[in-house]
Structure 1
């Protein structure tokens, strides 16, 4: 590599590890940066050198341009690779690199300025014949002026930040009455995530497919397309499963997409890896519209690597050093990627944080992971903890291989979406290729599944192991029966009983030895709860003693009507980013009281019932999971209405 010996990776997690891997293969020295929260993270250990750049909050570390440049100077870096997210599309970082004489592994400042702003990008590519979705930029407009323009475009509308991407801050607005709150929420998230609260409003296409084209450019004026990717399977505008090539486009459309993507790249003399994203109307698939251009490597780049045989990071390094691009290779086979998130699908996909008690990756497929056994997943960063990528000669084979790989993946200690990913991969519409970005919503809500016999067996074995007591011999003929919320073995009633409580507050009792009817693994967390995993599905089981067991039995047999608990509690750990009511205000059940942000996502905390609110936390406060953020005291009328029949008020 010309004039490039040491590369600082200005990122974290799986992308930092992936870039470091290629740097090592290319014989280049790698330097990692890390926040105080990531001091023991795998990417820090795997790099040749590492530099602490600030506290845990991203704004004070991974988003701090001066800290990144200072680290590069201290370690003698010739170049900076920004990965994706954080500063990957930062004009400020690119300019700072130029001033410091450091190679920025990315496009020019001009390309970043134009394509990094959705409003500018729309106008820029639209003037060059690339189709764009009807819409407008809200920069400089008052909310009243925005409302007038919105009515001209027509509802439904999509509100999204002009800067940044990844679905953060996007809001769907069905009618004019919902516009004001959507604008406020989108601005708040945009400001926090990208430092810029400018917005774009676009007509919402009812059944869109999200197709993106991987482009590459060099300093000699060549821009090529390296195939398209299907990124339609999304939830809340966040991609979940991606594949290359697409699940099937009409004849001739792929070539038109490639032509439009290359035209967009050439219009800014693009250099390096970029992605031009389009919407294709599932009901009129000959039509497509430009969404944006991501001026960086994408999370889903491994599927393109699988079907092209290229190392896109190595290609970035070569282009940054002045190399000449070769013609695009022919595509081979099909590849599918699943993103594993630290979240709970059964609880509206709330983020999950904590120590990783055990991580076991599947064999025979590519796994890019941010975690390993012993890692700590915090609420400071994105919830994606790993990607699993499968390749095959055709789409059917690739889907089956990915499903099997996810079944073999073990993550204990935090909740994940692995079981939901398997459900999605085997969905009839997904298998047939009948895709649109609303498909996942048709599968919600996700219902919690009861633990299997093998999972209970593993939990019982782990419990005995932790307490140092010998497990009774296994009896193969043991069969489980479920009665209400109680599991029981039908044999060996004289054996010592154990019981567990699920996160759904269901009691599981085991009164005899448990049959080995499948493979499951288990681990115990610091609170004594046992995490079990089987076929990609996991559960957290809390051992309960005899006294607690008796109390739960009695409660199940004699349910009583009770009023709603007055405390509004945080559903996850995070920071209070908005307070929606005044202290002492009268509120109604379900009304948002505060919003909590964790892992770059906002979640409102609603009032549990009608009454008068007393706020316990303010903007900027940190809430723990389950911590009360407000108390709602029922009014006299509400209290009398809630009084159980026959009780004395």
Structure 2
């Protein structure tokens, strides 16, 4: 274990001039939340300690902290989830307190006990609260005794699959399977009918065991048109408990929140919304009082859009939430500062009448993923980054883990940043957020920014008609933009612009020129590009005999067009003129090989690879060997990960759409299915570490007479059902 000190980022003096609550605080987390906590520690004059795994040695939070300590290899189980490693880092750095962020050990009672035993303050609630609220079954039964309404269902510890199946009829279908431990929507499954229950229980147990080390499950009735409303609470050790209003977190995909806002448009739109806010806030405070809660926490409720006066307790998150900035922006309260002060024994100076909600705030989570490919998580290196809106727009805040040169690992959650905007009303806040996302640029990696902008501008979202199933219903109609002729032309010209322009004349004279020099008119040069859909595009470029940026181009043998590309001196931007039409891009190129080109504007981006002759030939031959429209018989891993399940055996006869393997990557499980009917040949086993694009199975098709059809939808998602949900 090693420790490094960053003298350039040492803590500043406490602005208030008061003695800091702690001398040194270790942040037991990574990514954007670690950077966000470090920012407040610096404002308080507290020395900050970052921890990092081998995969995060060059991470942003490591550079921003005063001191950083290595805690182990990339695997979270051996680093960020290792209590012993964190305790060693505390001893090595002299930390007298630990802020856990969210996720990892933030809700781990054993971790809190270990810190207490070592004389180190845990900046979070007591062990009682962690124990009760950390188990959803126990929490649900506990708060019901304190007058907090709960969703009907069956919640008993230790129930087997058989016992759950027997109880399901009484709960009623559709129902929701939920893990008792953990959060973030992992292991949650909507089940529409009894016949689907057994398979869903098996998958839910496997995911829950892998994610939380506990496969205990329970069942809840599925509330129709559900809205996810949560209430932020603050409580001190002197008996004071207040709430800071509610957040609307109904825009979810696979039970993971995507866009959050404060206050809730549902309550804002009710004539008696203030009364409902007071009642749901008091219920949240009662849940906190029931476990002698201290610090910042969030109580999550389910509210039916059809009956907004009713609300049901889902769970209490005994930590900071990902979406806490929207509450901070409408209340002016720094939640991290109060977490630190309360942990040091301070009394809340805020009382409930002091809490007011000013304006409206909306947050969008930026993920490294490919929405067009079923939101497949993505890795890569950040080549170009611009996250700040033009000028100094104080309405916009960006909490980020990114910096140029950062390599994203497949070991951790794909959320990379959050963009938060404030406005005097909801429309102004949505407009400010949309504007900020239009200028958000992160090239070298795939992001969901375009998807976020499409979602923000959906008519139902704009009108505040939200529920947790909205995204799944809207997704098929979202009009994702794809690279077209302008981007192909820009990529070809940009590739040429990267070639050295001052090459000496070849020894064999002009006849050896790679440019295709010839007497008379210049010869066209061709660039082969790998398109995002897996195809090949060829751009023929004939430079102008007069030199400069002008050229005549043709895409895939089509009509010739005049083109010019102006690349900025630092290579960060490019302006393409194509037959008098103009496109302005942010641009980036990978160091290569292979040479990969990235273009982006207005929050949209595309990725094009310049193919070598060999790579182009391989793609062309693969297409020739396959009949037009036929499925590829090879099943490849979509990204680096671990094979966690193989439900078929080598040599089995399978049908199209049947699950062959499950690969876990970036905290998500991906089902890989048979693209066609036939006999399966497996090349991977459970536990194997696999690379992106690695062939894991091959289907040998059945003769036409033997093949059977199926209506199964070959969806590679682990869980695309939408329903009442929860997110981190």
TM-score, scaled to structure 1? 0.91
Corresponding residue SS for 1:23? helix
Q: 301, 310, 316: which one pairs with 2:339? A: 316
**Residue 569 of structure 1: how far off its partner (Å):** 1.4
- Superposed, 1:31-110 pairs within 5 Å as 31-110=49-128
What's the counterpart of residue 268 of structure 1?
291
Q: Does 1:337 align with 2:387?
A: no
User: What are the superposed Cα offsets for residues 356-383 of structure 1, whole Å, 9 maximum, x if unpaired?
Assistant: 1122112222111111111111111001
What's the counterpart of residue 524 of structure 1?
589
Q: 308, 318, 321: which one pairs with 1:285? A: 308
User: What are the superposed Cα offsets for residues 483-522 of structure 1, whole Å, 9 maximum, x if unpaired?
Assistant: xxxxxxxxx9987564533111353634341444232111
What's the counterpart of residue 419 of structure 1?
450
Comparing 558-567 and 325-334, the one that deviates more: 558-567
Counterpart-to-counterpart distance in 2, 1:421 and 1:469 = 40
What's the counterpart of residue 529 of structure 2?
500
User: What are the superposed Cα offsets for residues 408-432 of structure 1, whole Å, 9 maximum, x if unpaired?
Assistant: 0111111110000000000000000
Corresponding residue SS for 1:224? strand
Q: 575, 579, 598: which one pairs with 2:665? A: 598
Counterpart-to-counterpart distance in 2, 1:554 and 1:381 = 36
Counterpart-to-counterpart distance in 1, 2:189 and 2:626 = 41
- Does the 8 Å contact 2:81/2:105 carry over to 1? yes
What's the counterpart of residue 354 of structure 1?
380
**Residue 467 of structure 1: how far off its partner (Å):** 2.0
**Residue 308 of structure 1: how far off its partner (Å):** 0.8
What's the counterpart of residue 159 of structure 1?
177
What's the counterpart of residue 491 of structure 2?
459
Counterpart-to-counterpart distance in 2, 1:405 and 1:243 = 16
Gaps of 5+ in 2: 1-18, 503-520, 540-552, 555-561, 565-575, 710-728
Counterpart-to-counterpart distance in 2, 1:193 and 1:293 = 19
**Residue 619 of structure 1: how far off its partner (Å):** 1.4
Gaps of 5+ in 1: 471-491, 643-649
In structure 2, relative to structure 1, the CA distance for the partners of 1:129 and 1:528 (3 Å cut) is: same
Q: 133, 154, 163: which one pairs with 1:136? A: 154
Counterpart-to-counterpart distance in 2, 1:37 and 1:282 = 43
- Does the 8 Å contact 1:33/1:50 carry over to 2? yes
What's the counterpart of residue 712 of structure 2?
none
**Residue 587 of structure 1: how far off its partner (Å):** 1.3
Counterpart-to-counterpart distance in 2, 1:114 and 1:553 = 59
Counterpart-to-counterpart distance in 2, 1:373 and 1:274 = 34
Comparing 15-24 and 451-460, the one that deviates more: 451-460
In structure 2, relative to structure 1, the CA distance for the partners of 1:638 and 1:49 (3 Å cut) is: farther
Counterpart-to-counterpart distance in 2, 1:238 and 1:555 = 37
**Residue 548 of structure 1: how far off its partner (Å):** 8.4
Corresponding residue SS for 1:371? coil
What's the counterpart of residue 383 of structure 1?
414
What's the counterpart of residue 111 of structure 1?
129
**Residue 73 of structure 1: how far off its partner (Å):** 1.3
What's the counterpart of residue 328 of structure 2?
305
User: What are the superposed Cα offsets for residues 9-30 of structure 1, whole Å, 9 maximum, x if unpaired?
Assistant: 0000000000111111110001
Q: Does 1:618 align with 2:685?
A: yes
- Superposed, 1:546-557 pairs within 5 Å as none
In structure 2, relative to structure 1, the CA distance for the partners of 1:208 and 1:508 (3 Å cut) is: farther
Counterpart-to-counterpart distance in 1, 2:198 and 2:338 = 45
Counterpart-to-counterpart distance in 1, 2:488 and 2:156 = 55
In structure 2, relative to structure 1, the CA distance for the partners of 1:493 and 1:220 (3 Å cut) is: farther
Q: Does 1:433 align with 2:433?
A: no
In structure 2, relative to structure 1, the CA distance for the partners of 1:640 and 1:578 (3 Å cut) is: closer
Counterpart-to-counterpart distance in 2, 1:187 and 1:558 = 41
In structure 2, relative to structure 1, the CA distance for the partners of 1:60 and 1:459 (3 Å cut) is: same
CA RMSD of aligned residues (A): 2.5
Corresponding residue SS for 2:146? coil
Counterpart-to-counterpart distance in 1, 2:485 and 2:652 = 50
User: What are the superposed Cα offsets for residues 264-312 of structure 1, whole Å, 9 maximum, x if unpaired?
Assistant: 1111111001000001101111111111000000000111111111111
**Residue 457 of structure 1: how far off its partner (Å):** 5.7
Q: 546, 560, 563: which one pairs with 1:513? A: 563
User: What are the superposed Cα offsets for residues 289-339 of structure 1, whole Å, 9 maximum, x if unpaired?
Assistant: 111000000000111111111111111111111111122431111110000
User: What are the superposed Cα offsets for residues 563-600 of structure 1, whole Å, 9 maximum, x if unpaired?
Assistant: 54332211222110111112222211111011001111
User: What are the superposed Cα offsets for residues 27-80 of structure 1, whole Å, 9 maximum, x if unpaired?
Assistant: 000111111111111111111111111111111110111111111111110000
Comparing 4-13 and 130-139, the one that deviates more: 130-139
- Does the 8 Å contact 1:454/1:520 carry over to 2? no
- Does the 8 Å contact 1:500/1:544 carry over to 2? yes
What's the counterpart of residue 399 of structure 2?
368
Counterpart-to-counterpart distance in 2, 1:615 and 1:171 = 28
Counterpart-to-counterpart distance in 1, 2:138 and 2:707 = 58
What's the counterpart of residue 203 of structure 1?
221
Counterpart-to-counterpart distance in 1, 2:151 and 2:648 = 36
What's the counterpart of residue 542 of structure 1?
609
**Residue 182 of structure 1: how far off its partner (Å):** 1.2
User: What are the superposed Cα offsets for residues 394-443 of structure 1, whole Å, 9 maximum, x if unpaired?
Assistant: 11011001001101011111111000000000000000000011111122
Comparing 606-615 and 119-128, the one that deviates more: 606-615
Counterpart-to-counterpart distance in 2, 1:545 and 1:631 = 26
